[in-house]
Amino acid sequence: HRYPYWGARKLRSLLRSADIDPPHHSTIDAILRRHDCRVRYHNEQTQPPANHRFEHPNPNDLWQIDFKGHIALNDRRSSRCHPLTLLDDHSRFSLCLQACEGERLELVKPHLIEVFRQYGLPRRITADNGPPWGSNIAGGLSTLEVWLMRLGVEVSHSRPYHPQTQGKLERFHQTLKREVLHRAFSDLQHCQQVMNRWRDEYNHYRPHEALDQRPPIERYRPSPAATRSNCQQSNTNRKTTW
């Protein structure tokens, strides 16, 4: 079926959102079993991870950012894709899912600028300690940190070897890997096209277990428009400072 990675509870929620009175999720599960359409690699009956017990009270209080490793491409010019991911802690809304050819600062910053223009600025962004997020100098600040702080964004880092600090983003990465990144991609453009479609579905239609089977868009709201204007002005004034 169209959603091979969605279990009975998600499918039931989707039917309800379409004003269809669905049967109990156990009945839907039985139908999936009967037609050999069981969910792959995922069991909705498992206990939710501890990381979703705490969430920030408002959208844009905290964003989590990282790269989801890399995947191989069938392209001699650019043989790897490094998916850049950015997630709102409160709503689990995917703010950015970008196919990058590497993990360098000059590749990250333009995408962050576009996100800020579209959604505004968060109060805080958290990332791990590796480049381009953190500095290699003890107690020092990375170029990216300095730029974000000048925009008024607080920056924090996860504890080394503790990925659960960004538990919601790690969970998002698991879903992304299971539903998207296992495929074969010809090049970065192909990968981006697939990720764009999936991100739209994830944000607007896919029921989320931690959100009482509602899609992230129902809990997300952009920052004030004035903040987005300030971001653009600040970037214009500081083009040469990073």
The CATH number of the domain where 152 resides is what? 3.30.420.10
Residue 163: other Cβ atoms inside 10 A = 14
Residues 97 and 123 in one domain: yes
Q: Which of 11, 31, 46 is the last residue of a domain?
A: 46
pLDDT band at 197 (very low <50, low <70, confident <90, very high): very high
Is the pLDDT higher at 54 or at 38?
A: 54
Question: Looking at residue 211, what is its pLDDT?
Answer: 78
Question: Looking at residue 20, what is its pLDDT?
Answer: 73
DSSP 8-state symbol, 101? S
Q: Does residue 125 belong to any structural domain of this protein?
A: yes
Write down the pTM of the prediction.
Answer: 0.75
Q: Does residue 7 belong to any structural domain of this protein?
A: yes
Range with top average pLDDT, 28-37, 74-83, 153-162, 225-234? 74-83
The residues, ordered by sequence, that sit 6+ positions from 86 with a Cβ below 8 Å of its Cβ are 63, 64, 65, 94, 95, 96, 97, 112, 115
Residues 58 and 175 in one domain: yes
pLDDT at 46 over 50: no
- Torsion angle defined by CA atoms of residues 176, 74, 82 and 40, in that order, rounded to the nearest 10 degrees: 10
pLDDT band at 136 (very low <50, low <70, confident <90, very high): low
Q: Does residue 80 belong to any structural domain of this protein?
A: yes
Residues 103 and 171 in one domain: yes
The closest alpha carbon to 144, from 96, 99, 101, 106, belongs to 106
Q: Does residue 242 belong to any structural domain of this protein?
A: no
Q: Does residue 11 belong to any structural domain of this protein?
A: yes
Question: Looking at residue 17, what is its pLDDT?
Answer: 65
Instruction: Please state the rounded mean pLDDT for residues 60-86.
Output: 94
Query: What is the residue range of 13's domain?
Result: 1-46
Residues 129 and 67 in one domain: yes
Q: How many domains does the chain have?
A: 2
Residues 115 and 4 in one domain: no
Q: Does residue 139 belong to any structural domain of this protein?
A: yes
pLDDT at 43 over 60: no
Beta-bridge partner residues of 82 = 100
Lowest-confidence segment of 24-33, 93-102, 191-200 by average pLDDT: 24-33
pLDDT at 229 over 70: no
Lowest-confidence segment of 36-45, 48-57, 150-159, 206-215 by average pLDDT: 36-45
Question: Looking at residue 42, what is its pLDDT?
Answer: 44
Residues 58 and 33 in one domain: no
Instruction: Please state the rounded mean pLDDT for residues 23-40.
Output: 60
Cα gap 176→115, rounded to integer Å: 20
Is the pLDDT higher at 198 or at 78?
A: 198
pLDDT band at 226 (very low <50, low <70, confident <90, very high): very low
What region, left, alpha or beta, does residue 36 occupy, with left being phi > 0 and alpha being psi -120 to 50 degrees? left
Residues 38 and 75 in one domain: no
Residues 77 and 8 in one domain: no
Residues 74 and 166 in one domain: yes
Residues 156 and 115 in one domain: yes
Question: Looking at residue 50, what is its pLDDT?
Answer: 44
Residues 66 and 121 in one domain: yes
